[in-house]
Structure 1
Amino acid sequence: MDDPRRNIPRAIVVVMLLVSAFYFLIMTVSIGVLGPDLAETKTPIATAAAVFLGTGGGLLVTAGTLVSIGGINLASSFLTPRVIVAIADDHMLPPIFSRYNRFHTPYVAILFATLVGILIALSGSFTTLAAISVVSRFAQYVPTCLAILVLRRRDPEHPSTLPVPFGPVIPVIAVLVSLWLLVQADLHKILFGLGGLLIAVPFYFLMRKQYLQR
């Protein structure tokens, strides 16, 4: 953090490369152990671990998965309300979501995030929700990749400290790959994954119009 403008972009790239390599090795082992049976299991890593480490190995991987999920949920419980407040502060949600109590806690955003989280959790199985989560994430990646192309041309006087090499090649490839992966999902998961985005888009323009009229 001594030089965040220089170090954070590089740290992001290094972490992404390390995590990608780690996942690639995990999938290589899972495919090598299970072979065609990989397509028949909903818990490929735990199943593969149970094959070459025994029942205890499968239980260990399952326990690690639960710890990981718990960590993500704990982090999301702090992050999601803050994101809702930030969106409201940018006039893309009603100002009520920016309200704080006397302890400076965004209680409206917390209650809203909790209610939506409960409804989503009760709407389907873990496998279905995980697939929907992947679809919704790719829906966020596509605008991010497109933003690189737009912002690079719009603000040439303030270049990034870590510009993406090869010009528009990588963002364009990323968009095409994301769209291809989205097409591979079934219609049910696409509708649920993109449902929140489709609802939010007209809501965004409505709030933006009200703000500009003030």
Structure 2
Amino acid sequence: MTRVRNFASATAYFLEKNRGRAVLLFGLLTVFVLLNSMHALIDAVIGLVGFLPAFAIQLSFAVVFIGAQFFMMFYWLSRPRKYVVTPDDVQIGVNFDSYRGQPDLLDHARSTVRILQGVKEFELRGGEMPKGLLLSGGPGTGKTFLASCIAAEAKLPFVYLDASSLQGAFIGTSQLMVMKLFRDARGLARKYAEPGKRGSCIVFLDELD
């Protein structure tokens, strides 16, 4: 017990006489520890900076690859079933003389062609351009052929679209397909419009029900 007291007294006396040196030594040890930690941190930062270019390249490749896959899937699954016939295409046997049956409907189709051939004069006389025709009937009754005849007789581009293919695989693709359909139709109308006249295009939506 006496030895412990003597050791404590000696330690207290030593610290009392060397307080400044002890504080300085403790400060130096603290600085050394901090510098050692900073050195490890700097090494980690340098390693991270060196890794960033390779990581950025890998990340860019992954983003481009995934984006390309999604774009291709989005593109192929959002393509409706359609075809386009322009006035430049050779259409053999596509005219009103080749259409048989339903004379009343044929007369109405001829009237529609006359309107399409003189849209400007028709509107100047107070007429209103028809918005479209609704052809109803079972398969094989000549709906598509009649629409093709109207386009051929009026010398207008004809766009056929299977309406059932407008059901897109993703949300929003149906709206995009409809927008693209009418954008393409307007482009065809402008392309084949006669000088000084407003162009037209016939869009046939099959299986609309």
Fold match, TM over 0.5? Answer: no
Structure of greater relative contact order (alpha carbons < 8 Å, 6+ residues apart): 2
Give the structure with higher Rg (CA). 2
Question: Shorter-chain TM-score category?
Answer: under 0.3
Q: TM-score w.r.t. structure 2 length?
A: 0.24
Q: Hey, which of these two has a bigger chunk of strand by percent?
A: 2
Q: Hey, which of these two has a bigger chunk of helix by percent?
A: 1
Q: TM-score w.r.t. structure 1 length?
A: 0.23
